[in-house]
Every structure is written in structure tokens, then in C-alpha cells.
Amino acid sequence: MSMKVCMPKIFGEILRRYWSMRHLIQKVLRSRLVQCLVIFVLLLRGLESHAEDVGSSHVGDRQLPHCLTKDYQVVWRDEFVGDMLNTDNWTMPSIKVREAASLNSDGTIVVEGGLLHLKTLWRNEKVHASYIQTRGRHEWKHGYFECRLKFQKLQGHHGAFWVQTPSFRSFTDQPEKSGTEMDIIEWFGSGRRHGWAGMNIYYWGTTDKGVPGSVRSPSIPDFPKMGGPQDGSPDSPMKDLSEDFHIYGLLWTEKECAFFCDGVEIMRDVKAISQIPQYIVLSLLCSHWERPRLDVAKLPDEMQIDYVRVYQKP
């Protein structure tokens, strides 16, 4: 066969393959472009949803807490996503030992599965406890402070969600100027018949002995609204707060402080009301007085925190 006959056939085959390949490349590029556009739209929707989540009166699909008016909005939150504590939100105290336990040793603070795990460990013949705070990062004057958490099981250590002041001892009998310690909730372990939980406000004042010291404001929590104790029997067991997650909140205004559990008001105080910015603390501590109750053979034990949120008026 002559070259004059073969060349057109070869060029024809090359052109056919060229156009076929070009068509395939264009098809792939169009497909990739569509995929990229879909991903971009989804990401944009996610960002818009997040912006609405933080800036509106909703948190996800959840309405404002019932105790708040519509002019409140989320101003700060930590949902404990990822696998590390967000150090833009939290710091740790400089002290290494607090009463009967070492503080914040390796393994006592873990972020995993969308939860913050504060743990009590027994290691090297010592109790290791945990304590984090927003001090040095975030402080607020007035607002609604809310946390969803599940408490530790064992007696002998206590978990707490509280609000503290850096100037607690600055002024005697002037909580509005010194600030207060507001224990939104404390839990001292399952099976206790006395002192099992606490909601308190403390301020630096004149004690019964006539000297400056930590004084508890007289408000009393109505724990029967939380499932116990029974009316007329203050030593009866209350609902076990280590069995499940509950939502604890503090509404702090210029005139009063109201404490809540799962949306139900448990305590209200009008005497010791701080008028200065304060910070949040989450802790699982072991005090000297309770240490004998702690069965270290049953450790580790932990307190699990789902989220912490702060609401304020603009």
C-alpha cells in the first residue's frame, strides 16, 4: 500500500482520538466543576448557619433558655469539639496542689467525642484532680451562664460549675465591689444523704466570730424541685446527678441571682450580688475533709461536660 493511501487514514485516526479525548476531558472538568460548586455551596451554608447560630437567639435548633427574654443572645460558648482544650477559652491556675490532690496532671483533662472529660486519677500514690477557668481569657458582668454536664459517681471528690472573682478579698461586706463566688452547682457523689449537692453564693464579709472571712449568703436551694430531698426529710436522698446529663444555669442581673436545673428555678438570691466582671470555673476537686470517702481502687472517675454558654443583652 502506498504512502499516499496510509497518511490520510492515520491523520484521520489521530483527529478522531483527539476529539474523543477532548470531549472526555471537558466532561471530567465539568463534573469536577459541579462537585466543587456543590462543596462550596454546602460550606457557605454551613458558615451562614454557624453565624446565625452564634449571633441570633438560637443555638443550633435550640431556642433561648426559658428564663431569658428575647433580647438575650449568645456572646460566648465552648462546645468542646476536636481533641484538645481550646486555650483561647481556658487557662489553668498556677498552683500544682489544691488541698488533697495534685492539679491538672497528664490525663486529667481530655477533650474527646464532643465532650470535655475532667478526671480524678490515682497515680504514684497520689490523687490527681482537675481545674480549668476562663480567667485571663474571658470575664463577664451579668448574664446567663449555662452548662450541660454529667457528674462523677464516687464520693470523696466533688465536681462543680461556678463563677469566681479575681478580687474576692478586696472589700469586706461589699460583695458588689469584691465580687462573689457563685456555685451554680456542686456534686459530692452518689449515695450521700447529707451535703450531696450545693448551690451557693459566698462573699468576703464579717463572720459570726466578728472577723473577715468567707460568708455564705442565706439563700437556700429548693432541692425537692430536683427530685429530692423529700418534703420534711432534709436528709433523704435526692436524684442522682451522676446518672445522666442535666442543664445547670445562673441568671445574674444587677438586682439578683437565680439558679436553675433543667429550666426549673431552684434558688434565688438578692443579698450578695456582684457588680464586677467574673470568670467561669469547671472543676473536679478533692478536699481534705472528703478525701477519706474516696475509694481510690475505683478510680478513675470523671465529670463530663457537653457545653458551656454565656448569654447577655446587647
Query: In one letter, which amino acid is 48?
Result: E
Q: Which residues contact 249 (CB under 8 A, 6 or more apart)?
A: 65, 67, 144, 145, 146, 147, 184, 259, 260, 261
Looking only at the bridges linking them, the beta strands covering 126-133 and 101-103 are: parallel
The beta strands (E) that lie in the chain are given as: 73-78, 97-98, 101-103, 109-112, 115-123, 126-133, 143-150, 158-164, 181-187, 197-206, 212-216, 246-252, 257-261, 264-269, 279-285, 301-312
Q: Considering the entire predicted model, what is its pTM?
A: 0.80
**CA–CA dist 122, 129 (Å, integer):** 9
Higher pLDDT, 226 or 17: 226
Give residue 186's Cα distance to chain centre.
Answer: 14
Q: Is the pLDDT of residue 267 over 60?
A: yes
pLDDT (average), residues 209-218: 97
What is the sign of the dihedral through the CA atoms of 226, 230, 232 and 236? negative
Query: In one letter, which amino acid is 199?
Result: M
- Among the ranges given (12-16, 40-44, 184-188, 238-242), the one the predictor scored with the smallest mean pLDDT: 40-44
Q: Is the pLDDT of residue 192 over 90?
A: no
pLDDT (average), residues 67-74: 97
- Among the ranges given (40-49, 61-70, 154-163, 247-256), the one the predictor scored with the smallest mean pLDDT: 40-49
Q: Give the confidence band of 235 by pLDDT, cuts at 50, 70, 90.
A: confident
Q: Is the pLDDT of residue 98 over 60?
A: yes
Query: In one letter, which amino acid is 238?
Result: M
